[in-house]
Structure formats: C-alpha cells, structure tokens
Amino acid sequence: MSDFGLSPHPSLLLTAVPNIPDIQPNDDLAGLILAALGAADLTVQTGDILAIAQKIISKAEGRLVNLTDVVPSERAEEVAAQVDKDPRLVELILAESDEISRMRPGVLVVRHKLGFTSANAGIDRSNVGAADGEERVLLLPVDPDASAQRIRQAICDRLGVDVGVIITDSHGRPFRLGTVGVAIGAAGLPALWDRRGEKDRYGYELQHTDVGVADEIAAAAGLLMGQAGEGLPVILLRGLKLPPSEGKAADLVRPKELDLYR
C-alpha cells in the first residue's frame, strides 16, 4: 500500500520549460532539456517530475517516416478503402498494432503493440513538418518506459538528483469527447497507485480503488503543453511526495481478459 505523504495543505506546482529547440534524430534530449531548464533559471530537485511530450522523444529516437517510402500491402489497401485513409498511413498503422478494434469511414482504432488502444496507433502528422517537400509522420517510441528511464538516468548522472519522468501522449476516449493526456512511458514513480484496503473518511475499506497516477500527471501537464503551436513539450512538476517506485506505464494497460468492451 502506498502513501503520498501530502502535507495538511498540499499543493502542486507545474511549470512549462521554455525554449525547447526543434528536436532532431539522435539529439541529446536530456542535455537539451537541462540546458533549457538552466536558461530559464529553473532548478531540478529530487522528487520533481518531468512530463515530456511523446513527439520530442520520438523525434530524438528517429521515429520519423517519409510516406513516400511506404509501400502499402494488399491488406492496407483494403482497410484504407473502408476507412477512407491514405493506404501508406494504414500500412504503418497495421505494422504498429496487434489488431483492429474499430473502423469506419474516417476512423481506425487499433490495439497498439504496446498494449493500449488508440486511434491510428498513435501515428501523428501534427507538429512533424515535411522534409525536402516529402510528407512525414511520426511513430510512437518503440519502448516508452525504457525511454523514460534513460532520460531519468541521464539527469541523475549529470545532476545527482532523482526525478520521475513521464512520457505523455494525447488519447481520445470511447465514451467521452475530447482528447486528454495519458502516460505511455514512466520511470521513477508509481504509475498505478493501489489504495485497496485503505479506509475512507467513514471507515469503509476500499475494495476496487486503483489510481492511474501517471495518467493524472500527464493530463495535468497537458493543460500547459497544449495541442497546437504552443511549443511547450516539457513540464516540470513539483509538490507530489510520491513513494519510491519503479512503476511503468505498462502497469496501466488493462489485460485483455479484463477488458469488458472488446
């Protein structure tokens, strides 16, 4: 059982880190983030959390794909005709996923290889930019939990502080409108907070209360990151007194056998 250990008057400070440059493949992302923090006179302390947008992780890891290089399969052509999407994009979506969850004109929802269900396997065109006139798309990191751990370790090695790292993405929800930030990668904090067995204010013992802490942090960070041209892909959070944990965003994925909506 975990305990956040909050003070009688808890508070949470979120600060957008300005002047993160346009990230390129093989950039030292941890170094660039630390440089931006320093330029803004922002310090990093043990216990802080960095929420980082998936896009700059994917860019640094070279997950950019030129659509002109993609040759769609027969299956991709068939699905593309049903959903009215570019067959090359559909080819990438199928390659990044295990199965199709739902599809109809304009919509292709799949179960990603990482376990979660999302539209278009998380492949994005926004804030990507063309290269030599060729349209590009951005795939999710191969292993976002490992990506988060690498950045966490790099910061610890350079500054000697132990921080949590969350990699965020924007997901839609099947029964509500609007996208929200969710955690697809996490390191150095509990992604899932099991509160079963604790008592509420009236003495009732909680039976089914698992809190998606990493998703809540990602959603809060999304308020500052924005969805368009804000250019604020890194948010510094301070004030959550989380217990030491080696949680992963993979902990948040509901197993297939417990998915009642499949």
> Which CATH architecture does the domain made up of 13-63+140-258 adopt?
2-Layer Sandwich (3.30)
Between 227 and 122, the higher pLDDT residue? 122
Least confident piece of the model among 37-46, 66-75, 180-189, 244-253: 244-253
Q: pLDDT category, 262, cuts 50, 70, 90? A: low
Q: Examine the pLDDT at 11 and tell me if it is beyond 50.
A: yes
Look at phi and psi of residue 98 and say left if phi exceeds 0, alpha if psi is from -120 to 50, else beta.
alpha
Give residue limits of the domains in the chain: 13-63+140-258, 64-138
Give pLDDT tens digits for 95-108: 999 999 999 999 99
Q: What is the 3-state secondary structure (H, E, C) of 220-253?
A: HHHHHHCCCCCCCCEEEEECCCCCCCCCCHHHHC
Give pLDDT tens digits for 104-156: 999 999 999 998 899 999 998 766 766 666 788 999 999 999 999 999 999 99
Q: Does domain 64-138 have CATH number 3.30.930.10?
A: no
Rounded to two decimals, what is the model's pTM?
Answer: 0.90
Give pLDDT tens digits for 192-208: 887 777 777 788 877 77
pLDDT for 130 equals: 65
Identify whether the C-beta of residue 98 lies closer than 8 Å to the C-beta of residue 181.
no
| Number of CB atoms found within 10 A of residue 73's CB | 14
For 172, list phi and psi in degrees, rounded to 5: -80, 175
Q: Examine the pLDDT at 7 and tell me if it is beyond 70.
A: no
pLDDT for 1 equals: 34
Tokens of 243: 């217990």
pLDDT for 3 equals: 45
CA distance 231 to 11: 26
